[in-house]
Amino acid sequence: NAGVMQNPRHLVRRRGQEARLRCSPMKGHSHVYWYRQLPEEGLKFMVYLQKENIIDESGMPKERFSAEFPKEGPSILRIQQVVRGDSAAYFCASPPQGARTEAFFGQGTRLTVV
């Protein structure tokens, strides 16, 4: 997983605050996937981004969640007005150029809403 950097590793927010999660894909990779993992569950797809473009956001909740991947800088997953149910591990994945799999996942950000 070396090369896909996520920060912070742990994030604690009070209900109603905003959470910003960052993902820097492997060098030269221009696509990222975001997944959410609830406790004792598998990963659930949220959004697929290319630089400056959202390719598929079918897994994103309709409200409070947004994602971007600017031309410069990391991809950001933003959760506004967090609620307890947002507590989860959020992973991003960086597919190698030309590959068909999200082979490389970051270490994740564990969000706890108190």
Partner 1 sequence: GQQLNQSPQSMFIQEGEDVSMNCTSSSIFNTWLWYKQEPGEGPVLLIALYKAGELTSNGRLTAQFGITRKDSFLNISASIPSDVGIYFCAGREGSQGNLIFGKGTKLSVKP
Least distance (Å) from partner 1 to the CB of residue 81? 26
Least distance (Å) from partner 1 to the CB of residue 74? 16
Nearest 5 degrees, angle CA 56-CA 60-CA 61?
150
Tokens coding 85: 């149910």
Q: Is-contact 97 29, C-beta < 8 A?
A: yes
Give the residues lining the site for partner 1 (CB under 8 A): 1, 4, 33, 35, 40-45, 48, 56, 58-59, 91, 100-108, 110
Beta carbons within 10 angstroms of residue 49's beta carbon:
25
Least distance (Å) from partner 1 to the CB of residue 102? 6
62 vs 100, which CB is nearer to partner 1?
Answer: 100
